[in-house]
Homo-oligomer: A and B are copies of this chain.
Amino acid sequence: MLTPGVWGVVATPFTGSTFDLDEQSLARLVEHYERLGVTGLTVLGVFGEAAQLSTEERRAVLETVVDAVELPLVVGATSLGAAPVVEEVRLAQQVAGDRLAGVMVQVNSPNPHVLAGHLRAVHEATGAGLVVQDYPLVSGVSISADALVTALRDLPFVVAVKAEAPPTPVAVATLTAALDVPIFGGLGGLGLLDELACGAAGAMTGFSFPEGLIACVEGWRNGGYQAARDAWLPYLPLVNFEQQAKIALAIRKECLRRRGLFPESSVRPPAASLPESLHEQLERHLAAVR
């Protein structure tokens, strides 16, 4: 099982007009995460722009992260078919070795039997523990929480679920009641307080202030709703600002840049870059939580 807590979803910094991988900044970023005390890191996820990287770049990202920190890693797979997913898993296993806490695989069918077969095929070919990501906005696949329970019920190699199909608190409640694996919230922390209340084991997401996620999750554990709320409240305006449709990635990378973690905040096309009209407000939000 994946350790409950906060798993930081790692951004991928680029440099120059050709958007070259900036390994040095990546190392600095994950070292920062480690210092903050995250439970682990999620590498090559959606927020890491994994679908925009070549195989060689994916390997370089993994190597950089493995070398820079000691944290356990979840590595994302981008494809929806078993054969290319297996290829991605093998790369992760090769580079991350026993640092690999799990491989994150997308829900690829609304049909629980097809999904279970897919996960089984990936596990049987690789032996990897699987984090199942239910993120319809990215995968294009919508599964009901009940069908997800049916799919995952008898798969002992599933080590966690990342629930990103709104309304996520309701999904978290259904999944935690029926499955014995930890369920994590994502979506930049937009529903974190409610996901925790519904039984979430923590957050796995890329909010630019992971210390906020940590404070909220620890608040919940130690003091319940009120403590989590108090810890989370100062960050919430920035959370909502970051989690804007279409431009969330660009906003968060710019936040990381202004925090001094990246020299450049560019995103690879076709992702949208940060609209000029948001610069001033971004600075205000940052000033309020620094």
CA distance A190 to B243 in the complex (A): 10
Tell me whether chain A's interface is mostly helix, strand or loop, or mixed: helix
- Residue of B at shortest CB range from A111? B270
- CB proximity of A52 to chain B, nearest CB, Å: 4
Residue pair A246, B166 in contact (C-beta under 8 Å): yes
Stretch at the interface among A28-36, A63-71, A83-91, A202-210: A83-91
**Residue A193 interfacial (CB < 8 Å):** yes
- Chain B residues whose C-beta falls within 8 Å of the C-beta of A268 in the assembled complex: 81-83
CA distance A197 to B283 in the complex (A): 12
**Residue A290 interfacial (CB < 8 Å):** no
- Chain B residues whose C-beta falls within 8 Å of the C-beta of A54 in the assembled complex: 83-84, 86-87
**Residue A93 interfacial (CB < 8 Å):** no
Q: Check A167/B197 contact, CB under 8 A, given A54-B83, A55-B87, A118-B269.
A: no
Q: Which residues of A contact B (CB under 8 A)?
A: 49, 51-57, 79-84, 86-87, 108-109, 111, 114-115, 117-118, 140-141, 166-170, 173-174, 190-191, 193-194, 197-198, 225-226, 229, 232-234, 236-237, 240-241, 244-247, 268-270, 275, 277-278, 280-281, 284, 288
